[in-house]
Structure 1
Amino acid sequence: MNRFVRAFLQLFAAPRLNMLEDYPKVRQFQRTLAARPASTFRYLDREVVSADGDHPIAVRLFEPRERTRDEVLLFFHGGGWVTGDIESYTPACATMADLTGCLVASVDYRLAPEHPFPAGLEDCERVTRLFLDEPARLGASDADRIVLVGDSAGGNLAAVVSLRLHAAGHRGVRRQILLYPVTQCDHDPRTSPFPSVRNLGDDYRLTNTEVQDYVELYVPDGVERSDPDVAPLLAPDLAGQPETLVITAELDLLRDEGEAYGEALAAAGVDARVHRVDGALHGFISLPRFSRSLREAYEVINAFLDEPVTTRPSTVEAAE
């Protein structure tokens, strides 16, 4: 990346925002940026009642212009568990539907700091369990056709939902796609074990300060941040997880931890593979359709979806 592009990107570096205070402004900016004429996208809004029955969880279904696959992509959006929603991610999900030929279901989980950990995670798990038990609600022919997908914090939520389903003995999805996921809790360049955190956290789309602010808002209790439900890379046992595709961005501080998670899954006997998109920044899944990074990612995603699934659904025997 030349010095002029680098200087331009520094203008948008997150330290210029105090995420601990400015997250409402970021939410509004994202919605404004994503606004499009209603006729541009084909979608249907539904609601799922939370596990405790005290609030609805909105789910937006996106139909591709041409449906070429039976898979349903159950999508958890990014935004550091604090920003993002089904409105701001509508363009990205419509693109996902069209470029994969799949129905996409976007989950509007609760956000921190109004609803800190584990509220958003519980919403995502509730929706996943319901659709695995009743796949017809999503328009899926069977539960084997449901694929978990998440970007950034949403990739974290997808990975953790799979871990929790397996631990609970509930059938899981057979495949998951994690886009530049958050997999560990330490993003301080002084203490992180990952070079990308130390070298890429100042000048690009996502910064160390922003990630640390997001984690603080999502998990106020510092002790809980090392829980595998927050940092799946710290899970003691990754066996039994679904076939996994991890896609990372070369210029993203989360790059190394995402790749480390894919490697840890493979070491645990999981069919997992990692693809790094060269020259890409964090959040590229929301770029326009002509973006090279976006196109490359979807080529890899479509190849993954085209492969036959060999792993059985993730379950464990209930303890007697």
Structure 2
Amino acid sequence: MPINKAMLAALSLLSYPELDIERTYLVERKLQKLTSRRARKPWLYRIWEHTVPSGESHIPMRIFTPKQRKMACVLLFFHGGGWVTGSIDSYDGICGDMAAQTGCVVASVDYRLAPEHRFPAAVEDCYAAAREVFLHSGLLDVPPENVVLIGDSAGGNLAAAVSLMARDRGEFLPTGQILIYPAVGNDYSEDSPFPSVRENGTGYLLTSKRVRDFFALYRNSEYDLENPYFAPLTAKSFVDQPNTLIITAEFCPLRDEGEAYGDRLREGGNHVETHRIPDALHGYFSLPVWFKHVKETYAIMNSFLEENYDG
């Protein structure tokens, strides 16, 4: 299917696919910060701030409560940006739309970024935020079984990693996770086992080179590539994982690994739904809610949430 030209033009405004991320990540962060608050729609939700203590640091969390709350669940959101860019500020519009479109409270986590804070800083921050929400149910006024982990791209990676970490540490266990075009693999070379890395690795905004560059800034060593909290597909076991919704994009280099992760979870005995959005590129979820791919994604998400968290 040929790529939708309107989608390509819109996403080109949100992406910097050929820039050297090692040189430009600070500029990208500044540009994101300058444009972030323009996307807010405060008439649709209320916002309040919270911080999560974690060792010597404090992790900011921003909570979006919809004016019309439809479901008694919380979406604990980890943003994308390759573990290097992105923030709760740059995702204000997305999280506000998510609260309005789902009728759920959305709690957005501002984890530490690489390269200043390399692996496992980001996943440990996300785990600490999840631990507080799951073990202190009064914080967001929902029982722990009604907390769903969700993330896009690198945030999808972090949601999957937190689920594995929670199982392994035994302090809490999420009942649901939503992974939007997640980065769960560890090979974005021409030798990758996933065809989408080669088929969609150039010419579709997010390039395989850019993913490799993000990896280089995020990891501490080559050994991280085999760590399941860095690359969840390398896990030895996929049992005891949450009910999972995985949404991939047709023209995304991460498409096949996300779908393969669904297969591994299914083989581990978990309930999994996998949906591929036709004619969509990586990053489309950042577009306004009236784009058809975003509308389709929210329809899928709401069906999953209603099935598992009705009432």
TM bin (shorter chain)? over 0.9
Q: Assess if the C-alpha contact under 8 Å between 1:45 and 1:61 holds in 2.
A: yes
Match of residue 165 from structure 2? 164
Amino acid at match of 1:158: A
Residue ranges of structure 2 left out of the alignment (5+ in a row): none
Q: Assess if the C-alpha contact under 8 Å between 2:17 and 2:205 holds in 1.
A: no
In the aligned structure 2, how far is the partner of 1:233 from the partner of 1:292? 30
Q: Assess if the C-alpha contact under 8 Å between 1:9 and 1:204 holds in 2.
A: no
In the aligned structure 2, how far is the partner of 1:30 from the partner of 1:303? 31
Q: 1:101 aligns with which of 99, 103, 128?
A: 103
In the aligned structure 2, how far is the partner of 1:160 from the partner of 1:265? 13
After TM superposition, the structure 1 stretch with the greater mean CA deviation from structure 2, 216-225 or 76-85, is: 216-225
In the aligned structure 2, how far is the partner of 1:295 from the partner of 1:3? 16
Q: Assess if the C-alpha contact under 8 Å between 2:40 and 2:96 holds in 1.
A: no
In the aligned structure 1, how far is the partner of 2:166 from the partner of 2:237? 13
Match of residue 238 from structure 2? 238
Q: Assess if the C-alpha contact under 8 Å between 2:114 and 2:218 holds in 1.
A: yes
Matched position secondary structure for 2:38? coil
In the aligned structure 1, how far is the partner of 2:115 from the partner of 2:46? 31
In the aligned structure 2, how far is the partner of 1:292 from the partner of 1:6? 10
In the aligned structure 2, how far is the partner of 1:7 from the partner of 1:300? 23
Q: Measured at CA, do residues 161 and 4 of structure 1 come closer, stay the same or move farther in structure 2, by a change above 3 Å? A: closer
- TM-score, reference length from structure 1: 0.91
Deviation, structure 1 residue 173: 1.0
Match of residue 203 from structure 2? 203
What is the correspondence of 1:3-82 to structure 2 with a 5 Å cutoff? Answer: 14-36=16-38, 40=42, 42-50=46-54, 52=55, 54-82=56-84
Measured against aligned partners, the alpha-carbon deviations of 1:28-54 in whole angstroms (never above 9, x if no partner) come to 12222323286736310111111x2x1
Q: Measured at CA, do residues 57 and 4 of structure 1 come closer, stay the same or move farther in structure 2, by a change above 3 Å? A: closer
Deviation, structure 1 residue 7: 8.4
Match of residue 128 from structure 1? 130
In the aligned structure 1, how far is the partner of 2:140 from the partner of 2:7? 43
Q: Assess if the C-alpha contact under 8 Å between 2:41 and 2:93 holds in 1.
A: no
Measured against aligned partners, the alpha-carbon deviations of 1:217-264 in whole angstroms (never above 9, x if no partner) come to 000312212211111111010000000000001111000000000011
In the aligned structure 2, how far is the partner of 1:179 from the partner of 1:7? 19
Measured against aligned partners, the alpha-carbon deviations of 1:44-88 in whole angstroms (never above 9, x if no partner) come to 0111111x2x11100000011310110000000000000000000
Matched position secondary structure for 2:67? coil
Q: Measured at CA, do residues 287 and 4 of structure 1 come closer, stay the same or move farther in structure 2, by a change above 3 Å? A: closer
Q: Assess if the C-alpha contact under 8 Å between 1:14 and 1:207 holds in 2.
A: no
Q: Assess if the C-alpha contact under 8 Å between 2:109 and 2:126 holds in 1.
A: yes
Residue ranges of structure 1 left out of the alignment (5+ in a row): 310-320
In the aligned structure 2, how far is the partner of 1:275 from the partner of 1:46? 33
Deviation, structure 1 residue 10: 10
Match of residue 305 from structure 2? 305
After TM superposition, the structure 1 stretch with the greater mean CA deviation from structure 2, 21-30 or 94-103, is: 21-30
Match of residue 314 from structure 1? none
- TM-score, reference length from structure 2: 0.93
Q: Assess if the C-alpha contact under 8 Å between 2:39 and 2:93 holds in 1.
A: no
In the aligned structure 2, how far is the partner of 1:6 from the partner of 1:45? 33
In the aligned structure 2, how far is the partner of 1:297 from the partner of 1:286? 12
What is the correspondence of 1:204-283 to structure 2 with a 5 Å cutoff? Answer: 204-283=204-283
Matched position secondary structure for 2:191? coil
In the aligned structure 2, how far is the partner of 1:8 from the partner of 1:97? 27
Q: Measured at CA, do residues 37 and 6 of structure 1 come closer, stay the same or move farther in structure 2, by a change above 3 Å? A: closer
Matched position secondary structure for 1:135? coil
Give percent identity, aligned residues only. 43
Amino acid at match of 1:56: H
Match of residue 139 from structure 1? 141
In the aligned structure 2, how far is the partner of 1:93 from the partner of 1:86? 9
**Cα RMSD (Å):** 2.0
In the aligned structure 2, how far is the partner of 1:126 from the partner of 1:2? 40
In the aligned structure 2, how far is the partner of 1:192 from the partner of 1:299? 32
